[in-house]
Amino acid sequence: MTNTIGELENDAKAIFIIGTNTTENHPVIGYKIKQNVRRNGAKLIVADPRRIELAEMADVYMQFVPGTDVALMNSMMNVILNEDLLDKEFIANRTEGFEDFKAILEKYTPEAMEKVTGVPAEDVRKAARIYAESEAAAICYAMGLTQHSTGTDNVKTACNLALMTGNLGRPGTGVNPLRGQNNVQGACDMGGLPNVYTAYQNVTVEANQEKFEKAWGVKLSNKVGLTLTEAIGKAHHGELKALYVLGENPMMSDPDLQHVEEALENLEFLVVQDIFLTETAQKADVVFPGVTFAEKDGTFSNTERRVQRVRRAINPIEGARCDWQIICDLSTSMGYAMSYDSPEEIFEEIRSLTPSYAGITYDRIDVTGIHWPCPTVEHPGTPILHREKFNRGLGLFHVVEYKEAAELPDEEYPLILSTGRSLFHYHTGTMTRRSSGLDAHKPHNELEINPIDAEKLNIMDNEMVKVVTRRGSIDIKAKISDILEPGVIFTTFHFAEAAANRLTNADSLDPVAKIPEYKVCAARVEKIS
Amino acid sequence: MISLTIDGKEVQVPKGTMLLEACRIAGADIPTLCYDPDLKLAGSCRMCVVEAKGRRNLLATCVTPAENGMEIHTESSDVIEARKIILELLLSRHKLECHTCESDGDCKLQDYCYRYGVADSRFDGEGPHFTKPDPNPFIMRDYDKCIMCTRCVRACDEITGALAINIKDRGHHAKISTAFDGNLADSTCVFCGQCIMVCPVGALTSKVSAGKGKPYQTEKVVTTCTYCGTGCTLALNVKGDKVVGVTSVRDIEKSPVNNGALCVKGRFGWDFINSDERLTTPLIRENGELRQASWDEALDYTASRLKGIKEKHGADSIAMFTSARVTNEENYLAQKFTRAVLGTNNVDHCARL
């Protein structure tokens, strides 16, 4: 997030929610948005193909066709331009590329886009006015915006919207991705990515390579590595021979599980380190037992870049080892001695190599976390980014045209399938399916389907049905629900016995981010008996 | 600033300060049941009453602004008498099952009865009963222990915004209820358990923690939630080297993201930690089956296989998936291991999934 969670409760005068079912996936942030609307009268704009809980209290709700995010936001910007609701001073002083960008907006009139997005022109106008006229307007998004073959375009378009209205660098504004996992921010910050060391220091920059070579005492590669989705593809082709999976479950989380399964089986050697014998661990050649967050010390970095402490509450269960310890042990076994007395000692090494974390110490975050960047121990941290200038200096407008999703419905597969999450489960269900209360309350996967589609197919509520895509099929309980428009179906990916990713598409990736298009693929529903 | 005298001590407070706050500044220990610093004032339980010189009635301090020149007595005989009667009235509809109660030791009613020596109630007798089964796996609703402070109603409204519960009926029959007096699962309840967090007695407790340890038997370890990216602060409740529950840290300084508020996963989704399915030994595949192995064997075997593949096919034939769920320190080591030991930049995690 460019801004903080607290600002969504206290400072934002308008909040534009697109592609985040906040009350289910980030419930505590959802409470704050609701309170801001109810207590302070903040305006709420919701754009989502499903009429999610927040849509019920929105000033404007735009139920758009999955995959038409760019068309929808460009049409909002067409209104902002034509009604002269721009922040001209901000555009002049803080941005570049506006003229080129402006030129493409002309054709995105709300009327023209109505046929693409399905959103009435008047609603787009209303949403554009609320967002642009508010003193401080925040955009919040999550995987609903990013998990598309146009995911990067979608995010750039959201940035254009914020840039053209000056909604950056001030309290209550910002472009705010709500990140789905406890330490997904930290995993990125720590260089758990194929192109960067810690703090996004590029592996292809010689100075960075030298810095880490010196610190680690070995020669390093300057060749950008494989992303997760690419690695699975290479394994499938036989080019990748070994894979070490730490606390991940690609046999549930990755697109097209048939493809993933074949890829993993094609490996010469698979190591999995986890707390349970996950669907992925069942395929491993070696399994290392790690521990839960309750059994170790360390830090997590949340979605607002706040680095916070994780504390050991109990000893590791008999036989398991802390994950950091296992990596050290394996590294030492391979002839590169790694030895740390504690996670704090590791953190000290991180600080020495990571400019944005350099000023953060365990002592300083003992009670309350610190937002990076925090370059020195005197620095208070940075809750709001881009106050004076952007990382690159001026904010760049990107010219982004609407592109259709990669796999659209046709006669054989007439429905759009979107996948996501439930309030009661988390990611691949490794933890929540083994939490007694959560699994008792929500033991089955469900397929949300509009009553009109259900009637056409002669399907009753709670009936087991078959969902079929070009990748495969699953049997699943139908839940008839009018929160979806006809032609769109939705399910979650938490359940191994009805695994949504048997259906999803591994071939339609965003060309830059390599994120799979989980929000749009073509599907059909069949009656079983 | 205004000045007033509390138990003979003169204090100065800003205009608009509530008497409760002023009394606490003066060091007086004012009992409260319906008052909650994060919720709108109810002024309904009357436990916080004090005597003000020259006033005919006792004043409920939580809803009375301090005034210049007030002379307050917080433990006068009239005050004590009033509080005792209030406690007796509350006890008359509170099922006394302290020995088996999940809140035993962390119950304001128990504390105040002890403080004022109220053992039983003169107002006992046949009255309505409110407890009925609610077959949800998270929240135990034992309304025969409810003292109608309405903190749960206000938390549901003002913190979570779920508006799942409210007061139903009047007088003796008043109770906390969902719309149409049904089960929580059929209401707008999202099972965040904020109602448990604010309940001053044992009327609302966690079913997941039931029977696993009384509050005073557990150590509270403050940490960060393991689920979504919000990063809520919570306290793991530990008894005998076992996690037996999760409770809120109700202090904005110590819980800056969520100020104690949690969701259903954070508050009730912790018992996977104790699951029988946890892995407790390394495993090695042999003849197609995974078998148990010692740490030394598993580490040596893995090291030699990885080294062999690196020698034969090159470093870029190996990849590591690190994790969005483990710590920063572990992610740092995972990428260091991949880059420095395996010799490749093939490291990624499920940020995209």
pLDDT in tens, A87-112: 999 999 999 999 999 999 999 999 99
Q: Cβ–Cβ of A300/B224 closer than 8 Å?
A: yes
Q: Which of residues 187-206 of A touch B (CB under 8 A)?
A: 187-195, 197-198, 203
What is the pLDDT at residue B130? Answer: 93
Q: Does B278 touch chain A (CB under 8 A)?
A: yes
| This model's pTM is above 0.90 | yes
Q: Alpha-carbon distance A292 to B279, whole Å? A: 11
The pLDDT confidence band at residue B127, using thresholds 50, 70 and 90, is: confident
The pLDDT confidence band at residue A133, using thresholds 50, 70 and 90, is: very high
Domain ranges, ordered by start, for chain A: 5-178, 184-371, 415-527
Does the pLDDT at position A360 exceed 90?
Answer: yes
Does the pLDDT at position A18 exceed 90?
Answer: yes
- Calculate mean pLDDT across residues B166-187: 95
Domain ranges, ordered by start, for chain B: 2-75, 217-275, 283-352
Superfamily of domain A5-178: Dimethylsulfoxide Reductase, domain 2 (3.40.228.10)
A173 alpha-carbon distance from chain centroid: 20
What is the pLDDT at residue A249? Answer: 97
Q: Does A317 touch chain B (CB under 8 A)?
A: yes
What is the pLDDT at residue B125? Answer: 82
Q: Which CATH fold topology does A184-371 show? A: Rossmann fold (3.40.50)
What is the pLDDT at residue A39? Answer: 97
Q: Does B317 touch chain A (CB under 8 A)?
A: yes
The pLDDT confidence band at residue B352, using thresholds 50, 70 and 90, is: confident
Residue-by-residue DSSP string for B12-24: EE-TT-BHHHHHH
Which of B140, B281, B294, B345 to substitute to test the interface with A, most A CBs within 10 Å? B345
Q: Cβ–Cβ of A294/B344 closer than 8 Å?
A: no
Which of A213, A224, A241 to substitute to test the interface with B, most B CBs within 10 Å? A241
pLDDT in tens, A155-194: 999 999 999 999 999 999 999 999 999 999 999 999 999 9
The pLDDT confidence band at residue A118, using thresholds 50, 70 and 90, is: very high
Superfamily of domain B217-275: ADC-like domains (2.20.25.90)
* Cα atoms in the 13 Å half-sphere on the side-chain side of A135: 5
Q: Which CATH fold topology does A415-527 show? A: Barwin-like endoglucanases (2.40.40)
Q: Cβ–Cβ of A269/B306 closer than 8 Å?
A: yes
* Contacts with B219 from chain A: Cβ below 8 Å: 313
Other CB atoms within a 10 A radius of the CB of residue B222 amount to: 17
What is the pLDDT at residue B220? Answer: 98
Q: Which CATH fold topology does B2-75 show? A: Ubiquitin-like (UB roll) (3.10.20)
The b-or-e profile of A91-109 (16+ CB within 10 A means b, else e) is: beebbbbbeebbeebeebb
pLDDT in tens, B79-92: 999 999 999 999 99
- Calculate mean pLDDT across residues A186-209: 98
User: ∠ at Cα A460 (A459, A463), nearest 5°?
Assistant: 90
Does the pLDDT at position A339 exceed 90?
Answer: yes
Q: A73, A165, A159: which is closest to A119 by C-alpha?
A: A73
Structure-block tokens of residue A59 = 């000033």
Q: Chain-wide mean pLDDT for chain B?
A: 97
- Calculate mean pLDDT across residues A252-257: 96
Q: Cβ–Cβ of B262/A218 closer than 8 Å?
A: no
Q: A60, A3, A69: which is closest to A37 by C-alpha?
A: A60
Q: Alpha-carbon distance A254 to A58, whole Å? A: 33
Does the pLDDT at position A243 exceed 90?
Answer: yes
The pLDDT confidence band at residue A38, using thresholds 50, 70 and 90, is: very high
- Calculate mean pLDDT across residues A355-359: 98
Q: Does B251 touch chain A (CB under 8 A)?
A: no
Does the pLDDT at position B126 exceed 90?
Answer: no
Does the pLDDT at position A529 exceed 90?
Answer: no
Counting beta carbons within 10 angstroms of the beta carbon of residue B114, is it exposed (0 to 12), middle (13 to 18) or buried (19 or more)? exposed
> What phi and psi, each to the nearest 5 degrees, are found at residue B141?
-110, 100
Q: Alpha-carbon distance A315 to A322, whole Å? A: 10
